[in-house]
Amino acid sequence: MVSEKTFRPNLFYILRPVDITVPPLREVTEDIVPLSDYFLTHFAHSKEQHRRKLDASAIKALKLHPWPGNVRELKDTVLYTAFHSKTDVISAADLNFSQTEPDADDSLALRKPQKDKEKIIEAYRHSGSWTGAAKLLGISERALIEQRKKHRIGKKGEPEV
C-alpha cells in the first residue's frame, strides 16, 4: 500500500513497531458470552424486537465449539440463531454452527490443542524458519514464541528436555 501511495508513509512507520497479538477465540472462551450478549442486544435494537437470551446449554455449546472463523463466525452463528429463533430463550439445539469449517488436515493452522506441538514442529521443518512457520500456522511470530515456550520446543525445532 505504501508503494502504491494508498497509505500514508509516516503512518506506516509510526504503526510498524506496534505488535498486537489477538488470540483466537478458542483460546479466550471467557469472551464468548459477553460477545454473544452484545450481538444479541445489537440485533434486538436493530430489529426493534425483544432481546433473546442464551440458556446454559447454548453457552456450553458455544464455549465448546472450536471457532475456526473466530469472532466473525460467532457473530454469524448468534445472529442467524436469533433471527430464526421462535422463542426468547436460545438453547444448544437452536444453534446452527457453520457446516463449512476448514478441515484441520488441509492446513497447518493450530486447531486442536493436543496437536499443537506436532503442527509447530511440522511447520518449522516445512518452512525452514520460525518466521515461515508462523506464516504457515496463521499466527504472529510472538504467538509462535509463546507456543514454543508452552510446548518446550527448542530453537531448531527439537523438543527441549
Note the CATH architecture for domain 1-101: Orthogonal Bundle (1.10)
Please name the helix (run of DSSP H) or strand (run of DSSP E) that holds residue 17, with its range, or none. Answer: none
Total count of residues recorded for the chain: 161
Strand partners, 89: 53
pLDDT of residue 103: 46
Q: Cα separation of 1 and 6, whole Å?
A: 5
pLDDT of residue 1: 59
Q: Cα separation of 23 and 29, whole Å?
A: 10
- Whole-model pTM: value is 0.54
Domain with CATH 1.10.8.60 in the chain: 1-101
pLDDT of residue 132: 81
pLDDT, averaged per 10 consecutive residues of the chain (161 residues), comes to: 70 74 90 97 89 94 90 93 91 78 45 69 82 79 88 83 65
